[in-house]
Amino acid sequence: MTPQNNENCCTKCSVEEILKNTPKENILEKNATLLKSLADPTRLKIVYLLKNGELCACEILEALDKSQSTISHHLNMMKKENILITRKEGTWIHYRLANENIIEILENLFNIVED
């Protein structure tokens, strides 16, 4: 904001004060990346599929009716962002939500948007 514009501004606190209470840039980047990793209908569906517990990759693949490479890409992205946790059993990989509260958090977010 230029000093000229600041003279006409009627804010109760300074920009410096506001910025003090704003998360740091690296935190904002991390949070934006997390939201981007959920900003896809297929990935949201995976989260809802895992709502009731762990599923094998083959079960997720069957439920979504998409190619194996597409599902693998989505699962890996979500694992990288710590949305999913994996467990290997023989040749199969099982997935579960890293935080079971994610469904409730997402639904609260969606309710805000709907209101």
For the chain, the structural domain boundaries read 3-114
Q: What single-letter amino acid sits at 102?
A: I
pLDDT (0 to 100) of residue 11: 58
Q: Tell me how far apart the terminal alpha carbons of the chain are, to the nearest angstrom.
A: 33
Burial of 106 (0-12, 13-18, 19+ CB in 10 A): middle
Query: What sign does the CA torsion over 98, 86, 72, 64 have?
Result: negative
Residue-level pLDDT, tens digit, the chain, 115 residues: 445 555 556 556 688 888 888 999 999 999 999 999 999 999 999 999 999 999 999 999 999 989 999 999 999 999 999 999 999 999 999 999 999 899 999 989 888 877 6
Architecture of 3-114 per CATH?
Orthogonal Bundle (1.10)
pLDDT at 109: 87
Give the pLDDT score at 13: 67
